[in-house]
Amino acid sequence: IAGITQAPTSQILAAGRRMTLRCTQDMRHNAMYWYRQDLGLGLRLIHYSNTAGTTGKGEVPDGYSVSRANTDDFPLTLASAVPSQTSVYFCASSEGTSGEETQYFGPGTRLLVL
């Protein structure tokens, strides 16, 4: 079934630990995105990639890094987790970045940093 998968589904992480959230899409979409969703704040863009081999910073990039080695995968790494990074993380993809090219979202990763 075509779509976006994220792993893990949920995670409890000790502060200071390194963590990589995985995201894979099989729709051959060019653009991919990472958002965090916090109560009352809505979805905020962390990092994005318009095409394989390129990445860019979103609204809240500090403490996070990404890579885009190929079209399908877009992992998000927390180098040293802090409690303020407790959130729900959504990966999304779109065929392009213009027109009615909507973003499709993965099921999310629920992260608790203690």
Partner 1 sequence: GQNIDQPTEMTATEGAIVQINCTYQTSGFNGLFWYQQHAGEAPTFLSYNVLDGLEEKGRFSSFLSRSKGYSYLLLKELQMKDSASYLCAVRDSDYKLSFGAGTTVTVRA
The residues of the shown chain that bind partner 1, judged by CB under 8 A, are 33, 35, 40-45, 48, 58-59, 90, 97-100, 102-108
Q: Two tokens at 60? A: 């809240």
9 vs 14 by CB, closer to partner 1 = 9
Q: How far is the CB of 92 from partner 1 (least distance, A)?
A: 8
Least CB distance to partner 1 at residue 6 (A):
9
DSSP 85: G
Rounded CA separation 41/97 (Å): 24
Q: Please state whether 27 falls in left (phi above 0), alpha (psi between -120 and 50) or beta.
A: alpha
Q: Which is nearer to partner 1, 16 or 107 (CB)?
A: 107
Min CB(54)–partner 1 separation in Å = 13
Q: Which is nearer to partner 1, 35 or 78 (CB)?
A: 35
> Nearest Cα to 111, choosing from 5, 19, 43?
19
Backbone angles phi, psi at 67, to 5 degrees: -145, 155
Cβ closer to partner 1: 62 or 100? 100
Q: What is the identity of the amino acid at 72?
A: D
